[in-house]
Structure 1
């Protein structure tokens, strides 16, 4: 049997029952595709359900506030995806009369939609003959055909996209695309693939040459940048001081606390921290270390400390992005995970403000 037929036959037996596979609605497929970028199905599925419940149509999505979108997105990471989705929903309402496009050439123009996502949506919604190439597809093709060009390099990408389109089963592109992606997700897995049970192992180059662990090849990633955040936690009665993060850095438009960033955590940086606190919150202000943690992002590692600030002055010169909010309001605001986890630990159910000190 052909490579394509083997994949499709395997898929019809082993495919997972996922909700977005029961529709050809482009909006629903778009939701699933964006949510599942850089996200495992097990983690993304509850978000997909939640988003579809809150925004059953693209019009509902476009009408939402960015804060609501980011709050629902909280915990998924890569928050630019949520912001791009919101922008795309508005574009569809304004430029496409509220009708979600189904053709690749229209989709590729939308914010946050690249070649992969445009191919997936067009293939699954309208049957357009476009090959979908994601991490799972890269892996299957690299191993089966023994391709050792880096999948994240320009030559490798060009070779893989060319091969993927040559292999596309044009009679049923949606079925084939789903099949090869699912095969990579649950059969030809990154680690410990079930090679002995694989229907393709007879002709698989990697399996027959003991190269399964070595393919696909990736160019080494740049070393992650380390950053050092000292968060200041100020409480006034039943309110807490929060800061809305601005454009130009991580966590845009999410809410955290006033923060002093230093080059490291050291005696010298602690002096800078204390000096900054006194300058902004009065000479009598005192710091108490509450907890320290580390938050790992794709390109950065954030070292975090939380300090309670006591004896601060109340008439400090407030920046416009600083706001006193009630704890009920705080729960409604979108926050980075590191802040959400701290709040849950310190101010969760049955925990009072007095626990802070």
Structure 2
């Protein structure tokens, strides 16, 4: 496993981040433990979750599973960079959501209890809260840093302008500000190349792509990949709209002798702005595939062929104004 700096920080994270959204609703606790152990054995030191994850098992269930895994000891906590998020509603109460100073404080304490740890390495805002002034947000985050409860702050699903606005507000307070951004990014969803990626590069944020396989559509849906999702109506609509591109994509991967899912992750690892794609395996076999992707080298010719199949939007404002 290779490691990369998280944005402009000195923190070293594995070039694959283990996403845990499936832990609980899809993957049982014993299987989740096995995936976490396998990831750690293979050098994955970056684990991402969120306070709301849990699905049908209830909000907070995923953090609770991770906390139980950490509680087994064996230096598990010391070996990982632990990331979680807040923003989404945790109850029907009006203040158990968003980025008010109150919710930031209480949500952090609740995550620490579920995770059975005394600190969060990367505390991320899951979405922008337009009702929360940046001075309120940063004052709350500064307090958590001073208390030793969090170390770094990141964002998720922010626009390029929001990244700039947040970090300029942090700069005025002499605070480090955002060090990472989680965004939807894969070969079928390249919108962030317009303005989010340039903002991340300008402000020194690590980029953590989520849904690196487009919800499974890049995993070989035409040739039998991700059979669990092929039957959904949404997937069938997406396949129909992208069939010509998917046919070319899967043929290219066959030429390379690699599974489409692995090449999709490898493509992200070849993008200069990317720190670590977030992979969310439901099984150990899916994790093993993601780990294999880190060893795939794509030549300039192959990258050009991929861009021809799934062209990006180009830079802003040229993409829409020139």
Q: TM-score, normalised by structure 2?
A: 0.24
Say which one has the larger Rg: 1
Q: TM-score, normalised by structure 1?
A: 0.22
